[in-house]
Structure 1
Amino acid sequence: MKRENVLVSEDALARQREFEAKIKEMFTSREAHPVACVDTFGCQQNVADGQKLMGMLADSGFTFTEDPKEADLVILNTCAVREHAEQRVFGNLGILTHTKKENPEQVICLCGCMAQEERVSQRVKESYRHVDLVFGPHALWKFPELLWQVYETRKRVFAVDNEDGTIAEGIPVVREKGVKAWVSIMYGCNNFCSYCIVPYVRGRERSRDPQCVLQEVRELVEAGYKDITLLGQNVNSYGNDLGLDYHFPDLLEDIDKIPGEYLIRFMSSHPKDATNRLFDVMAKCPHVAKQLHLPFQSGNDRVLKEMNRRYTREKYLEEIRYAKSVMPGLVLTSDVIIGFPGETEAEAMDTVSLVEEVGFDALFTFIYSPRPGTRAAAMPDPATRAEKQKWFDKLLEVQNANSAKLHAAYVGKTVRVLVDGESDDENFPLASRTEGNRLVRLKGDKSLIGSFIDVKITDSNTWALYGEPV
């Protein structure tokens, strides 16, 4: 894939701004005030995409609601990674038949990773005829043009062609209020893990220009955002396509030079590309949070090979040992799949033993979910759901005990946190995060929201810490 074919031209982006103006003028001439509902499923990358959709809609004259019944335009921004998320999306599409019946002029849109799958777009075309617009991640940058086609022709529009993918700089963004922000530094994936659909729906890896990333982070810091997460399917591959001999650790070092009071996080990080230099840079850069999310997926070498992860158990453990050595107190989290096709109980217990050996602060755990179109979906899978559930329950038992133990060790200590919002606990009305991203529920006044403060930890459980400002 040639680099010059990756970047969307200024002329092409200017054309989209013309369509935004047309949509805005159309509603103005009708003396109408259009309202949109953007419902996002899945990962932070989807959240970032949803904020771009809202940015383009705002420039087209829309305001926003969380209630589809109030909306002139409903967008389901979808995830294809888990079967459960897909079922929820189809359930919501079914519910929208009622809102469309009450408001026949309502436009319904399905976008995101699910929409890029041919089987999904075909099912929508045949069985969900109230859906007006379907497009995948590759077409997000030309959303205004696609929406204008729907309004102008009153016909259904499908933009789901398979493409390598592009980078479009300068798309407007409507960010959530508060202290957290997400910055995509690259798109796509070249890894083709056998269980994962992402490379098929998001295309090949392509990195944003470092200066564009730095400028976006600089603007966020100046705007008051204090917890900024860099996003990529594999951030450790950042820069491989730039031809600049400039890679992810270089980007972290340059971001760290931006003045201000803020923390930088990143996800996801692939173990096959994680290096000691990355950990050294994390250790020396004060703005980079001493938190590492490094998905290992399985603790068994045979299963890792079948997953096409391209590292071994020992290679993963070596990385963890080095990262801990240069960052004492490092907070570690990971992703784990239990019940991969062909996995035995003994192999699943290898995963449990790795969890015991590493001592993760928290895990994102999943029972394997087959995704049509991936290699793993065609593999023999003799273990029953009941067997996999038993292995999964053992994993949770071990991890929950470790999380509770690690959290209990915080009690009596004073830690620095960023107060980022309100809590759902009336006795501890504020929510905050440590540098390691551990949730701390606080006593205190709402005026503390948005501030870094010192907190004494007074209590803990498996999932959270509790404290009060010092």
Structure 2
Amino acid sequence: MNEQQRKEMGSIQQPEQDKTAKDKPLKEKTTEDFAKYFETTYQPPSLKSAKKRGKEDVSVHYDFEIPEDLKGLGNGKKFLIRTYGCQMNEHDTEVMAGILTDMGYESTSDQKEADIILLNTCAIRENAENKVFGEIGHLKSLKREKPDLLLGVCGCMSQEESVVNRILQKHQFIDLIFGTHNIHRLPYLVKEALFGKEMVVEVWSKEGDIVENLPRERKGNIKAWVNIMYGCDKFCTYCIVPYTRGKERSRLPEDIIQEVRQLAAQGYKEVTLLGQNVNAYGKDFEDMTYGLGDLMNEIHKIDIPRVRFTTSHPRDFDDRLIEVLAQGGNLLDHIHLPVQSGSSDVLKIMARKYTRERYLELVDKIRTAMPNATLTTDIIVGFPNETEEQFQETLTLVEEVGFEGAYTFIYSPREGTPAAKMQDNVPMEVKKERLQRLNAVINHQSAQAMKKYEDEIVHVLVEGESKNNPDVLAGHTDKNKLVNFRGPKSIIGQIVPVRVTKAKTWSLDGEMIEAVEVK
């Protein structure tokens, strides 16, 4: 591989003439192998390279191990990971926390105690990036006070060349930058950052393999995220995710099922199956026909009370999945189904590959199979050149579907995506006004939906104390409605019956029914 090829790959590659380290199983690799793998010459990540979908098979590794000489590297030290963005980032944080714990580090929430601080970043909107750079600025003074503090930036922002170059030029006190495809390399990267003299940058534009047995430190023992696939192949014109997360790569069904069974045995009450486009699961399997519906049909048989999934794409929401979800039981009928726009013309420019009519047909199928299904969604307003008539189509679709909640956003251009090159003649004040009108409709529909629960009994998975009052407990219903009520701390982690006494726009107040035995 010559220098130009290496640059186009956008990653730090092992020299072509030395294949010994590359070909070894993970558990057989030594620190010396990875020293060869890591080149001192920085090569930036490349969105252009990330667009190229490789035809190579994705390997699945079950042999991850932390070398003995790195296991005690963190003894007596502490780490802090700040997470921005989606549930996938939360999942990645759990893995990184597991790796650092196995290296001897202890977790802390106090940055002044931390010996390592990692910022696990999100690139989906400009505001998310601004928050991270603001935090980087705040950490500069802490770095001055503690020169041995290791500061790292990882996650989706690290996959953007402009971001990495900005850090290199303006924030040279950062010690470590790595991306979304090489989290399993964290032990080696930490060692290099601790003992090397230069900033460590390792970002792969080409997505890596699947490593199955990575350690994980989950938050609590009530609800768990279970990643079932990585990446996205949809290439919506506004979205950076296919570039930062790579192509769709599905985990094997048996590995996922085993993980869910282990969580059930450990007493978890709820699992959420994760994927950037979760209902495209299995479409990359070449040797079998197996989709999300088939996977959920297997998980339906596992003794765990609640199973959810997120985030789905209407284009891949097939009849088999609807058929399986209609069985009910532990398969919940709260479905998050991002529509993004109610205008077929806007959807076409977004490259969503469905129309308004197709989306409404899908909603009708879901409601026919599951009459009580609760739908929530994502919506973007102010997409380049969106007209008032097209925005009105979004409002009417929201009303027709009856969404009970939505994540709503003003369009944020992301460098490297096709939409960022589009001419945008919608003034910001118009975008903000449209967002206000949309939110008014969503808030009204949510309040109306909540009103129906007054005096009804709902079953709440108690997750802990309310954020606003430690004397109040909080949890969610099977339809993902937040409920606050008073009760003993001993019921945290259980599913209990609660009578709703007051409905608010986004939450419910209630009182626990002590006479009914908790689940």
User: Does structure 2 conserve the Cα–Cα contact (< 8 Å) formed by 1:132 and 1:150?
Assistant: yes
For residues 420 and 3 of structure 1, the distance between their equivalents in structure 2, rounded to whole angstroms, comes to 44
Instruction: Give the match for residue 6 of structure 1.
Output: 58
Q: Post-superposition, which runs of at least 4 consecutive aligned residues in structure 1 deviate over 2 A? A: 1-5, 7-11, 21-28, 424-428
Q: Aligned ranges for residues 28-427 of structure 1 at < 5 Å?
A: 33-243=76-286, 244-260=288-304, 262-426=305-469
1:25 is displaced (CA, Å) by: 3.4
Instruction: Give the match for residue 72 of structure 2.
Output: 25
1:178 is displaced (CA, Å) by: 3.8
1:445 to 477, 488, 510: 488
For residues 436 and 230 of structure 1, the distance between their equivalents in structure 2, rounded to whole angstroms, comes to 16
User: Does structure 2 conserve the Cα–Cα contact (< 8 Å) formed by 1:113 and 1:136?
Assistant: yes
User: Does structure 2 conserve the Cα–Cα contact (< 8 Å) formed by 1:341 and 1:379?
Assistant: yes
Distance of aligned partners of 1:447 and 1:26 in 2 relative to their CA distance in 1, 3 Å threshold: closer
Question: Counterpart of 1:145 in structure 2: which amino acid?
Answer: Y
For residues 147 and 169 of structure 2, the distance between their equivalents in structure 1, rounded to whole angstroms, comes to 19
Distance of aligned partners of 1:441 and 1:147 in 2 relative to their CA distance in 1, 3 Å threshold: same
User: Does structure 2 conserve the Cα–Cα contact (< 8 Å) formed by 1:304 and 1:312?
Assistant: yes
For residues 135 and 221 of structure 1, the distance between their equivalents in structure 2, rounded to whole angstroms, comes to 33
Deviates more, 1:148-157 or 1:231-240: 148-157
1:449 is displaced (CA, Å) by: 1.0
Deviations along 1:4-27, whole A, 9 cap, x unmatched? Answer: 74225456x33xx11xx3234345
Deviations along 1:154-182, whole A, 9 cap, x unmatched? Answer: 32111113103321110000000141110
For residues 396 and 54 of structure 2, the distance between their equivalents in structure 1, rounded to whole angstroms, comes to 44
Question: Counterpart of 2:179 in structure 1: which amino acid?
Answer: G
Secondary structure at 1:468 match in 2: strand
Aligned residue pair count: 460
Deviations along 1:85-134, whole A, 9 cap, x unmatched? Answer: 10010011111111111110111100000001111111111111011110
Deviates more, 1:108-117 or 1:442-451: 442-451
Question: Counterpart of 1:257 in structure 2: which amino acid?
Answer: K
Distance of aligned partners of 1:8 and 1:122 in 2 relative to their CA distance in 1, 3 Å threshold: farther
Q: Percent identity?
A: 44
Distance of aligned partners of 1:87 and 1:271 in 2 relative to their CA distance in 1, 3 Å threshold: same
User: Does structure 2 conserve the Cα–Cα contact (< 8 Å) formed by 1:195 and 1:374?
Assistant: yes
1:395 is displaced (CA, Å) by: 0.5
Question: What TM-score results when the alignment is normalised by the length of structure 2?
Answer: 0.86
Question: Counterpart of 2:215 in structure 1: which amino acid?
Answer: P
1:428 is displaced (CA, Å) by: 7.0
Instruction: Give the match for residue 6 of structure 2.
Output: none
User: Does structure 2 conserve the Cα–Cα contact (< 8 Å) formed by 1:165 and 1:202?
Assistant: no
Secondary structure at 2:393 match in 1: helix
User: Does structure 1 conserve the Cα–Cα contact (< 8 Å) formed by 2:279 and 2:316?
Assistant: yes
Deviates more, 1:183-192 or 1:221-230: 221-230
For residues 471 and 146 of structure 2, the distance between their equivalents in structure 1, rounded to whole angstroms, comes to 43
Question: What TM-score results when the alignment is normalised by the length of structure 1?
Answer: 0.95
For residues 459 and 115 of structure 2, the distance between their equivalents in structure 1, rounded to whole angstroms, comes to 44
1:3 is displaced (CA, Å) by: 8.4
Distance of aligned partners of 1:26 and 1:220 in 2 relative to their CA distance in 1, 3 Å threshold: closer
Distance of aligned partners of 1:106 and 1:306 in 2 relative to their CA distance in 1, 3 Å threshold: same
For residues 131 and 411 of structure 2, the distance between their equivalents in structure 1, rounded to whole angstroms, comes to 18
1:319 is displaced (CA, Å) by: 0.8
Question: Counterpart of 2:293 in structure 1: which amino acid?
Answer: P
For residues 427 and 138 of structure 1, the distance between their equivalents in structure 2, rounded to whole angstroms, comes to 39
1:469 is displaced (CA, Å) by: 1.6
1:275 is displaced (CA, Å) by: 1.5
Deviates more, 1:327-336 or 1:293-302: 327-336
Question: Counterpart of 1:22 in structure 2: which amino acid?
Answer: D
Secondary structure at 1:246 match in 2: coil
Secondary structure at 2:100 match in 1: helix
1:151 is displaced (CA, Å) by: 2.0
Question: Counterpart of 1:38 in structure 2: which amino acid?
Answer: I
For residues 305 and 446 of structure 1, the distance between their equivalents in structure 2, rounded to whole angstroms, comes to 51
Distance of aligned partners of 1:34 and 1:382 in 2 relative to their CA distance in 1, 3 Å threshold: same
For residues 27 and 271 of structure 1, the distance between their equivalents in structure 2, rounded to whole angstroms, comes to 45
For residues 381 and 268 of structure 2, the distance between their equivalents in structure 1, rounded to whole angstroms, comes to 37
For residues 439 and 79 of structure 1, the distance between their equivalents in structure 2, rounded to whole angstroms, comes to 25
Distance of aligned partners of 1:10 and 1:414 in 2 relative to their CA distance in 1, 3 Å threshold: closer
User: Does structure 2 conserve the Cα–Cα contact (< 8 Å) formed by 1:165 and 1:204?
Assistant: no
User: Does structure 2 conserve the Cα–Cα contact (< 8 Å) formed by 1:253 and 1:285?
Assistant: no
User: Does structure 1 conserve the Cα–Cα contact (< 8 Å) formed by 2:77 and 2:106?
Assistant: yes
Distance of aligned partners of 1:253 and 1:388 in 2 relative to their CA distance in 1, 3 Å threshold: same
Deviates more, 1:249-258 or 1:156-165: 156-165
Instruction: Give the match for residue 44 of structure 2.
Output: none
For residues 396 and 204 of structure 2, the distance between their equivalents in structure 1, rounded to whole angstroms, comes to 44
User: Does structure 1 conserve the Cα–Cα contact (< 8 Å) formed by 2:74 and 2:105?
Assistant: no
For residues 419 and 164 of structure 1, the distance between their equivalents in structure 2, rounded to whole angstroms, comes to 38
For residues 43 and 25 of structure 1, the distance between their equivalents in structure 2, rounded to whole angstroms, comes to 31
Distance of aligned partners of 1:27 and 1:210 in 2 relative to their CA distance in 1, 3 Å threshold: closer
Aligned residues: CA RMSD: 1.5
1:419 is displaced (CA, Å) by: 1.2
User: Does structure 1 conserve the Cα–Cα contact (< 8 Å) formed by 2:61 and 2:212?
Assistant: no
1:427 is displaced (CA, Å) by: 9.3
For residues 94 and 197 of structure 2, the distance between their equivalents in structure 1, rounded to whole angstroms, comes to 26
User: Does structure 1 conserve the Cα–Cα contact (< 8 Å) formed by 2:61 and 2:210?
Assistant: no
Secondary structure at 2:211 match in 1: coil
Deviates more, 1:264-273 or 1:153-162: 153-162
1:425 is displaced (CA, Å) by: 4.4
Name stretches of at least 5 consecutive residues in structure 1 with no aligned partner: none
